[in-house]
Amino acid sequence: MIATAHDRIAMPPAATQLGWHLLDARPGEGWIKIGFEGKPEVCNPAGFVQGGILAAMLDDTMGPAVFAMTEGRLYTATISLTVNFLAPARPGRFIGEARLTQLGKTVAFIEGRLTAKGGTLLATATTNARMVEAGKALR
């Protein structure tokens, strides 16, 4: 496993709830791959993982791409998040991938995708995120 800036910080409670775990990263390219666990207790009445949880997984994939790329110097605060839900998500393991598309002076533009373990594309997303010095944002 590649070492990233994520190894130097404690796991946030929200990431723990989502089952967040780093699978792979290419920090120099602004790319990251994160594993998640879609738990039965976050399902809607139809038995699918609720869309807001999938959006949170995508959000918690895209921001970490910037954190890893900047070697932990910059933390992201989401300005906007657009999610397209493409398939229902049964409980289970999911994989989030994100790629930084542009890193400006104060705003990052990132694309993400979330797939089921078998490869079904569940959702895609784009985000604009304000970059904040990590020392000011993280406790």
pLDDT exceeds cutoff 60 at 1: no
Give residue 5's pLDDT: 60
pLDDT bin (cut points 50, 70, 90) of residue 90 is very high
Cα torsion 115, 52, 25, 31: sign: positive
Give residue 10's pLDDT: 75
Judge residue 85's burial from the number of C-beta atoms within 10 Å of its C-beta, 0-12 exposed, 13-18 middle, 19 or more buried.
middle
Give residue 122's pLDDT: 98
Give residue 12's pLDDT: 85
> How far is Cα 66 from Cα 77, in angstroms, rounded to an integer?
11
130: nearest Cα among 99, 101, 100, 109? 109
Give residue 134's pLDDT: 76
pTM: 0.93
pLDDT exceeds cutoff 90 at 110: yes
Give residue 139's pLDDT: 63
